[in-house]
């Protein structure tokens, strides 16, 4: 098994480094989990510092909800929510800044403001110009398994194929291959994607290693957990999140995107301990 290892803006990510925690800052009042929404600058700053103090090395900032059935906002509104916060983070906090957006115009302005990573859940399907922005800035990018619509890959084989195509498109523009992280797309992104599809992806996560990229997993409080446990409210899905994430780490996840950095810290450390022994054995 080949070793997966990379360095993104000074942060080492890979098999023999700590699993990295990515804290979620949600600027979208339309979010499926309203406890994660922040609007006041002082509250956002306090929350970011709490996450950093609890072990987050990356902060992922998003201003547009991608939950099924949510009415889209304009690019102008997304930009107005994001840019001031990005500028504030670069000034006040020591962390990598990831921007959760599918739009090249927004990505460009955020990178100009000091962001380090673009988290494009559509893998350039929403806005093909995103490839050029990533290449122009030599930015790091997170690519989610997307065939036609964000997160629509139902099997690990499909996820591998569409991620391979996205990787080739950005590497073909000259981006350093070490600046790419992959995401299998856990969640009910489309109506056809059931809890079993998500469990399948988590159980077979290790097969994504064939792409030789660090693997990010975003499980935090998602609906498949509620479907399995009969828990409709995302606020009550922390335990299910921690269990599912522990399995994902054991199966190879290198970065954990989470609303709950502090609650995840010990679970991440213990899960990685089990995985590291498996790798060495």
Instruction: Tell me the C-alpha distance between 133 and 109, whole Å.
Output: 10
Which of 257, 262, 278, 280 is labelled catalytic? 257
- Has 257 been annotated as catalytic? yes
Other C-beta atoms lying within 10 Å of the C-beta of residue 50: 13
Contacts 24+ apart (CB under 8 A), 137-140: 137/108, 137/111, 138/175, 138/176, 138/179, 139/107, 139/111, 139/115, 139/179, 140/8, 140/9, 140/116, 140/179, 140/180, 140/181
Structure confidence by residue, pLDDT tens digits, 210-237:
999 999 999 999 999 999 999 999 999 9
**Per-chain mean pLDDT for the chain:** 92
Structure confidence by residue, pLDDT tens digits, 56-101:
999 999 888 777 667 788 899 999 899 999 999 998 899 999 999 9
Contact in structure between 164 and 211 (CB atoms under 8 Å): yes
Read off the pTM. 0.94
* Domain segments of the chain as ranges: 5-280
- Has 222 been annotated as catalytic? yes
Which pLDDT does position 39 carry in this prediction? Answer: 67
Instruction: Tell me the C-alpha distance between 236 and 10, whole Å.
Output: 36
Structure confidence by residue, pLDDT tens digits, 138-177:
999 999 999 999 999 999 999 999 999 999 988 988 888 9
Which of 47, 222, 237, 275 is labelled catalytic? 222
Structure confidence by residue, pLDDT tens digits, 119-128:
999 999 999 9
What Å distances lie between residue 92 and 52, 89, 110, 114, 125, CA to CA?
A: 12, 5, 16, 12, 34
Q: Which two tokens stand for residue 165?
A: 């195509």
CATH of domain 5-280: 3.20.20.20
Query: Considering the chain, what percentage of its residues have pLDDT values greater than 90?
Result: 78
Which pLDDT does position 159 carry in this prediction? Answer: 98
Instruction: Tell me the C-alpha distance between 195 and 190, whole Å.
Output: 12
């Amino acid at each position: 098994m080949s070793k997966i290892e990379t360095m993104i803006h000074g942060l080492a990510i890979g098999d023999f480094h700590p699993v990295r925690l990515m804290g979620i800052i949600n600027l979208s009042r339309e979010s499926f989990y309203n406890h994660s929404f922040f609007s006041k600058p002082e509250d956002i700053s306090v929350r970011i510092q709490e996450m950093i103090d609890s072990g987050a090395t990356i902060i992922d900032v998003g201003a547009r909800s991608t939950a099924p059935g949510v009415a889209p906002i304009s690019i102008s509104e997304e930009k107005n929510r994001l840019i001031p916060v990005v500028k504030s983070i670069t000034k006040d906090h020591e962390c990598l800044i990831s921007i959760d957006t599918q739009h090249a115009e927004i990505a460009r302005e955020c990178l100009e403001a000091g962001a380090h990573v673009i988290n494009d859940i559509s893998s350039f399907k929403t806005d093909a110009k995103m490839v050029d922005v990533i290449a122009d800035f030599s930015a790091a990018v997170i690519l989610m398994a997307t065939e036609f619509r964000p997160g629509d890959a139902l099997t690990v084989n499909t996820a591998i194929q569409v991620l391979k195509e996205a990787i080739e498109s950005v590497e073909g523009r000259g981006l350093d291959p070490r600046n790419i992280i992959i995401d299998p797309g856990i969640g009910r992104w489309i109506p056809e994607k059931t809890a079993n599809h998500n469990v399948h992806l988590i159980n077979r996560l290790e097969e994504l290693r064939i792409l030789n990229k660090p693997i990010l997993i975003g499980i935090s409080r998602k609906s498949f957990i509620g479907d399995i446990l009969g828990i409709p409210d995302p606020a009550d899905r922390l335990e299910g999140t921690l269990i599912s994430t522990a399995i994902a780490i054991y199966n190879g996840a290198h970065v954990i995107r989470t609303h709950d950095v502090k609650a995840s810290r010990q679970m991440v450390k213990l899960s990685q301990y089990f995985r590291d022994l498996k790798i060495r054995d």
